[in-house]
């Protein structure tokens, strides 16, 4: 597979409703609203040939391409931030930007827009026109700056000071389905302590810019 054939496969699923996707895969859509985005992403992965994908690197490892769905509202604006990757709080200090999982996930992305407006019944929502994207020089500089600032705070044991307001394009947020999920991180004294799992997310203002540049200009 190459980029051209991957985009050809995307054209084949463009316009499908989530109901048609479920029928094609012979699966049941997620019933709970909170689980639906995960179902959509996994369903599209399967349609494009990815099975049981849970690797730390990009989804299409041979191509170095990460797959991300992008739910859009009626105004063609992203409805939510985009999860990039989980954060290994104890090992983050060993990474640099270019060796990080975050960079590996963002250097080449296959964006698959999907209808996400709440006025459209879930099963009636459709898959849009996919496109490939890589950050330009200016965008990567901002992403790297955000990553460096946020990871420095974590490495210094100041994870508790981080909130979703920090970072221009990239933000760090808790990644637990419930507040009961905990993992180990370092505190300011360099001691291990239990804390909420964290993940990197792209802000909707940034993904809106990516989409606009692709289709609106």
Predicted confidence band at 34 (pLDDT cuts at 50, 70, 90)?
A: low
Using CB atoms within 10 A of its CB, is residue 2 exposed (0-12), middle (13-18) or buried (19+)? exposed
Exposed, middle or buried, 107 (CB in 10 Å: 0-12/13-18/19+)?
middle
Average pLDDT (43-63) is: 83
CA angle 96, 98, 103 (to 5 degrees): 105
* DSSP for 48-90, written as a single string: TT--S---SS-SBTTTTBEEEEEEE-TTS-BSS-EEEEE--TT
Percent of the chain past pLDDT 70, that is, above it, reads: 92
Per-residue pLDDT for 77 more than 70? yes
pLDDT value at 52 more than 80: no
pLDDT tens-digit readout, 105-130: 999 999 999 999 999 999 999 999 99
Which pTM does this prediction carry? 0.91
Walk me through the domains of the chain, giving residue ranges and CATH numbers. 53-116+133-216 (3.40.600.10)
Judged against a pLDDT cut of 60, whether residue 32 lies above it is answered with no
Produce one character per residue of 148-165: b if its CB has 16 or more CB atoms within 10 Å, e if not.
Answer: eebbebbbebebeebeee
Cα–Cα distance, 88 to 85 (Å, whole number) = 10
- Whether the pLDDT of residue 86 is over 90: the answer is yes
**What pLDDT is recorded for position 29?**
80
Whether the per-residue pLDDT at 177 is higher than 70: the answer is: no
């Amino acid at each position: 597979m190459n980029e051209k054939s991957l985009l050809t496969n995307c054209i084949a699923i463009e316009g499908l409703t989530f109901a048609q996707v479920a029928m094609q895969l012979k699966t049941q859509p997620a019933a709970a609203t909170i689980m639906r985005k995960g179902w959509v992403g996994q369903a599209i992965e399967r349609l494009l040939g990815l099975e049981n994908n849970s690797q730390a690197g990009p989804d299409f490892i041979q191509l170095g391409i990460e797959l991300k769905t992008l739910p859009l509202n009626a105004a063609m604006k992203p409805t939510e931030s985009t999860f990039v990757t989980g954060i290994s709080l104890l090992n983050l200090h060993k990474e640099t930007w270019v060796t990080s999982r975050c960079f590996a996930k963002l250097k080449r992305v296959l964006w698959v827009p999907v209808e996400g407006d709440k006025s459209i019944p879930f099963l009636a929502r459709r898959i849009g026109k996919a496109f490939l994207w890589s950050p330009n020089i200016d965008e990567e500089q901002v992403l790297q700056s955000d990553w460096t600032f946020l990871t420095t705070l974590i490495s210094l044991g100041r994870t508790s000071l981080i909130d979703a307001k920090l970072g221009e394009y990239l933000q760090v947020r808790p990644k637990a389905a419930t507040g009961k999920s905990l993992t180990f991180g370092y505190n300011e004294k360099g001691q291990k302590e239990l804390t909420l799992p964290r993940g990197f997310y792209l802000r909707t203002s940034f993904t809106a810019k990516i989409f606009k540049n692709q289709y609106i200009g």
